[in-house]
Amino acid sequence: MIKNELAAQKFFPPLVALELTRIACEMPEKYGPSLCLWDCTELARELIRRNVVESISPQTVQRILNSHKLKPWKHHPWMNPTSHRDQEFIDRTKNICDIYTRSLQPYEIVLSVDEKTSLQPRFRTAETKPTMIKVPVRVEHEYKRDGALNLFAGINTRTGHVYGETFERKRQLEFIDFLQKVDGDVSDDIETIHIVCDNINIHSGKEVQKWLETHKRFTFHFTPKHCSWMNQIEQWFSILQRKRFTVTNFKSKKYPAEALMLFIDQWNEFAKPFNWKKRSFEKVLNKTEKNLKKAA
């Protein structure tokens, strides 16, 4: 028995700890309190309200919970592993795996496409100061807003080359304008441009479908629902966020638009593809197929 548990049970019998852990492992609303999560103070009050003990401090509650490695005040998002995992999920995942990993013909390329939205200029009221000996980069806390930009971007999954364009709005119209730019930038020798993206309206709406009727070299491949991790451009967006938007100090929307295009140009000078293999998909596919067989 660990030291914390001994200390917690010195004054309270094991049944108190048992009742506390039972309550902590349920959502608060089950017992009546209008709370979204438990904390030590509320758990102490609940034990007293239920006549488990006459009195108990939040600190003692925390010691008992620590001894059982419970922290009911913490949370993180998750998704039911069986949600949206049907035959369509398997088919789309296999298609994305194939388009990422198979050998391409000289006349085709694959672009992973999405939008990074609400990029704010955040004009600081004082200049950002560079690092000095034993002093980090200093960023003024106060800033002014000047709207936001949306970056439409696609990354060539075999070369790492990025195509990008900024817009003030995010609609089918802007997405079509981005596709027009890609169409103009990609060599005429390329007969098939595979586009990997999620199946939201701006990627699959009527206006986009109408545009595709006259641009036959574009072929769309939609990722499964709630699977943004399958879209390689998300990896590049995380790099962009870390390298260009961790510290922001732009005077207006004009400046981040220019900075984004410069970042893309400089990225393309040293572009390298992300190393995706079939094993990146094998675990999720095997688990989904196994669950579907059990349900059958």
* pLDDT value, residue 79: 56
Same domain? 121 vs 235:
yes
Length of the chain counted residue by residue: 296
pLDDT confidence of residue 81? 58
- Rounded Cα gap, residues 165 and 182, in angstroms: 10
Residues 111, 40 share a domain: no
Higher pLDDT, 130 or 248: 130
The reply to whether 196 and 245 lie within a common domain is yes
For residue 155, the model assigns a pLDDT of 98
Number of domains in the chain: 2
Q: Which residues 6+ apart lie within 8 Å of 8 measured at CB?
A: 17, 60, 63, 64, 67
106 burial via Cβ count (<10 Å: 0-12, 13-18, 19+): exposed
Q: Domain for residue 79, yes or no?
A: no
In this predicted structure, what is the pLDDT of residue 4? 47
Q: Are residues 34 and 153 in the same domain?
A: no
- Percentage of residues in the chain with pLDDT exceeding 90? 62
What is the rounded radius of gyration, in angstroms, for the C-alpha atoms of the chain? Answer: 27
Average pLDDT, the chain: 88
- 175: domain CATH number is 3.30.420.10
- Domain span at residue 220 reads 87-291
Q: Are residues 195 and 281 in the same domain?
A: yes
- Residue 201 domain-assigned (yes or no): yes
Residue 181 clears pLDDT 50, i.e. is over it:
yes
- Residue 6: predicted pLDDT: 44
* 151 and 50 belong to one structural domain: no
Residues 265, 124, single domain; the answer is yes
SS3 string, the chain, reads CCHHHHHHHCCCCHHHHHHHHHHHCCCHHHHCCCCCCCCHHHHHHHHHHCCCCCCCCHHHHHHHHHHCCCCCCCCCCCCCCCCCCCHHHHHHHHHHHHHHHCCCCCCEEEEEEEEEEEECCCEECCCCECCECCECCECCCCEECCCCEEEEEEEECCCCCEEEEEECCCCHHHHHHHHHHHHHHCCCCCCEEEEEECCCHHHHCHHHHHHHHCCCCEEEEECCCCCHHHCCHHHHHHHHHHHHCCCCCCCCCHHHHHHHHHHHHHHHHCCCCCCCCCHHHHHHHHHHHHHHHHHC
- pTM for the model: 0.75
| pLDDT tens digits along 33-90 | 899 999 999 999 999 999 999 999 999 999 999 998 999 999 886 656 555 678 888 8
Shared domain check, 35 and 174: no
Mean pLDDT of 135-149: 74
Whether residue 75 is contained in a domain is answered as no
Residues 61, 94 share a domain: no
Give the pLDDT confidence score for residue 143 in this predicted structure. Answer: 67
pLDDT digits (tens, 9 = 90+) for 258-277: 989 999 999 999 999 998 99
The pLDDT of 189-214, averaged and rounded, is 96
In the structure, what pLDDT confidence band is assigned to residue 207 with cuts at 50, 70 and 90?
A: very high
Residues 60 and 140 in one domain: no
Residue 76 in domain: no
Pairing of strands 108-119, 162-167: unpaired
Tell me, yes or no, whether 296 lies in a domain.
Answer: no
Residue 209's pLDDT band, with cuts at 50, 70 and 90, is very high
State mean pLDDT over 158-174. Answer: 96
Confidence at 13, pLDDT banded by 50, 70, 90: confident
Let me know if residue 133 belongs to a domain.
Answer: yes
Tell me whether residue 81 is in a domain.
no
Are 8 and 150 contained in the same domain? no
| Residue 286 in domain | yes
Residues 183, 55: one domain?
no
